[in-house]
Structure 1
């Protein structure tokens, strides 16, 4: 029967080898709360520590990396895409003030190439280690006939916990709170369908070298997503009450994602002049015959996370983030004074939140 399965295109032996190659990287993310090892039907995590919480809330998030994987496949570089996955999943959990506990991954591919799968998982494990998240399980599925041999997609899910009265969000945001930008490392993992369309229209190969981008096109575009979880958890622990809300700038861009974590009736204008988008955004916009403003709903333009902070603690928050290697700056201030909000983004992803718009011109 196994031979017939192999004839159908599924190589279970290759799958077993992939597990062996990734086992040490996965095990390195395990602390004393992980029960059992790698390869079980389900991952087990000891949450008895939650009995010390007054009202523990579990936070969960799931996501993928999107079409960024197509660039990894095009240049045969697979060791960073897993970091992107952790960023997309785990950094959503810290937004509510939760500490990530564990994560699982799912890789669907046309053909299991053990070394490639191991590279992907090694990146996931590295991201998990950097965010204090245990990688407790996963699945690699071979889909011959549905996906081409070199095609794959990755997704993951994570769970975290937060004390109910420590939850961040719109309910804490007040008039006069200051909005702070946390610098991104590049495109992160959103807007790659537009990126790929631009590259295709320019008839550029991901293997080409670009003086404008400062390196191999594919490698520049694969710059891993910056991970904010550990610096933010440190900030929340060291400066309790300083941060009222966080927004992870992913699909939808800066304004729409911030609007999701502001209370209804509030508004903020974000000053474009407070930062200069990195060359990767400027070059891609030029290649796509766009101005940067036209890309604001697609790319993060240099802001990967946003914090809404108590006004009196802004300098302390920025200094704390800088000490953890995260450049940050002020973007604007929240107001609840009634005004005409025509032209503002008002909530997103089904959330009826505050109103946000960007104003001014980007700094050169």
Structure 2
């Protein structure tokens, strides 16, 4: 208790010293501490935003734009990086020596090249070399890829977004309940997956019908060439594409090593037993190996997800308008509120990290062996 009390006192003293030092320097410069600047007009444009924004909006809106762009990039990197990393990790254990060698070479090369260099490489050597809009790549006059970005049709509707969000929640919830019910009854009792497949088929038909009905309330904006650029639809800039590809490739290599280590932690007797009773390679992975390996994979996977969110700040090097770019650089230069802005950015990353850690720790606790 004495050691903890002394440690706490030292930490509080350090915080008090840093606070008084910051207050002294702000007073010496004639500046005030506060977040009132968030209601002021930003006055600068942002190259790409998923939510509506124009220069007449406030710095608070700039903060929201940066958060949205950062979360979209990080979510896609986590999703696709996990999928690719899982596949590569399994391929590393393939009995085919050529496949195993290719998977190992992928991991070793990608992991040993700094992420920032990979981002710059994909941006300068790949995406920036795409042809201009007039000579860009097109797929069915709906999707276009050029040196300004990837263009695709976007829906517009008079129906409130909340209705669409509610419908998605209902369908996802119905699918989850259907799956849980099917597994809790026939599947666990008999091992017959027919009930599960029938339920998924009914849900898919209902979803298709809902999309057909909802299409009557939606108008689609199709990209079309107008002058030297494409107008209409929606697009993602090449900076997003370069950051997404580089971060996904880099993160998938780390996840692949976690998957490989988790799979190799399982006793070889489990492999032999599965083959002995006639399991196919897919059945062995799905029913025997992965359910046991997941207990060793989750902890390092959680760290990879946390790092993926933080790595999104490196996209500032190629001009992608994420949180650090639009809020911790441009906004600081215009307002001079460095302490407030940096503390808000730090708070965002801490909050996201705590949420990811909590969710994965909860899942990790559920899949661990229970001591009776």
Above 0.5 in TM-score?
Answer: no
TM bracket (short chain): under 0.3
Greater radius of gyration (CA): 2
User: Which has more helix, going by share of residues?
Assistant: 2
Q: Which has the higher contact order (CA 8 A, sep 6+)?
A: 2
TM-score by length of 2: 0.20
